[in-house]
C-alpha cells in the first residue's frame, strides 16, 4: 500500500477492472494504480501468479496491463489519461480466434 505525501487535486479518472480511480497530474498508469492500492497488475503467463511493478522504469515488464483494449502495455511508461479503461493482464495475450469476414 502507498499513500500520497500531500493530496493534490485529481487530474482525471481512469477505470481499473470496473473501479474508478482518480489520478494526479504526472501520474503514470502504474503510479495511479499503486496509489489506489492495486496490488495485482497481471497474472504471470507461466504460473498465473500475481505480479506487480518491480522497477518502475520500463526494464522489468512486470507491470503489464491491458489499456483501452491493448494488452501487455507497460503501465509504468504510459501516462494516465482521463477515461482510460484498464484491466488486469491475465496471463499471455489473447487474440480473437475468429476472422472478420464471416
Partner 1 sequence: MTTGRQHDLIVVGGGLIGSAIAWGAARTGADVALLDEGDVAHRAARGNFGLVWLQGKGVGAPAYMHWSLRAGHLWRDFAQALVDETGIDIGWSQPGGLQFCFSETELDARRRVAAATRADGGDIEIEILDRAALLERVPAIGPQVVGASYSLLDSHVSPLYLLRALQQGLQTRGGTYFPTARVSALRAEPGGFAADTARGVVRGRRIVIAAGLGAAALAPQLGLSMPVRPERGQIIVTERVKPFFSYVGSGVRQTAEGSFLIGSSHEEAGFSEETDVTTAATLCAAAVRAFPQIADVNVVRQWGSLRVMTPDGKPIYEESQRHPGAFAATCHSGVTLCSAHAFVLGPAIATGTLPDAVACFRSDRFDVQAH
Partner 2 sequence: MTADRMDTDHIAADRTSHDWDAVVIGTGPAGMAAAAALAEGGARTLVVDEQPEIGGQIYRAIERNRNHSRLARILGADYLRGAPLAERLRASGAEISLGTLVWRIDEERGVWIRRHGAIERVSARAVVLATGAMERPVPTPGWTLPGVMGIGALQIALKSGGLVPAGRLVLAGSGPLFLLFARQCLAAGVRDMVLLDTSDSTHLLGGLPLLPRALTGEGWRYLLKGAGLLAALRRAGVPFYRGVRDIALEGERHVTAIRFVHRGGAARLACDTVGLHEGVIPQQQITRSLGCAHEFNPAQGSFRPVLGASGTTDLPGIHVAGDAGGIIGAQASAHDGNIAALAILRDIGRLAPEAAERRIAAETRARHAHLTVRPFLDRLYPPRAEILAPADDTVICRCENVTAGALREAVGRGVTGPNQAKAFLRCGMGPCQGRLCGPTATAIIAAATHRSPEETGYYRVRTPLKPVTVGELAGLADHGAPNAERNRERPS
Distance CA 68, CA 45 (A): 20
Burial of 67 (0-12, 13-18, 19+ CB in 10 A): buried
| 27: its cell numbers | 501520474
Q: Which of residues 50-79 bind partner 2 (CB under 8 A)?
A: 50-62, 64, 72, 74, 77, 79
Binding mask 82-101 for partner 1 (x = CB under 8 A): ---------xxxxxxxxxxx
**Nearest distance, CB of residue 69 and partner 1, angstroms:** 9
Q: Judged by CB under 8 A, which of 40, 48, 91, 94 binds partner 2?
A: 40
Amino acid at each position: 500500500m502507498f499513500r500520497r505525501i500531500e493530496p493534490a487535486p485529481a487530474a482525471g479518472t481512469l477505470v481499473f477492472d470496473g473501479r474508478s480511480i482518480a489520478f494526479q497530474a504526472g501520474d503514470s498508469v502504474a503510479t495511479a494504480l499503486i496509489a489506489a492500492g492495486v496490488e495485482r497488475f497481471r497474472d504471470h503467463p507461466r504460473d498465473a501468479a500475481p505480479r506487480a511493478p518491480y522497477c518502475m522504469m520500463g526494464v522489468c515488464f512486470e507491470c503489464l496491463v491491458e489499456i483501452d483494449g491493448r494488452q501487455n502495455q507497460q503501465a509504468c511508461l504510459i501516462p494516465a489519461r482521463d477515461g482510460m479503461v484498464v484491466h488486469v493482464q491475465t496471463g499471455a495475450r489473447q487474440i480473437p480466434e475468429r476472422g472478420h469476414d464471416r
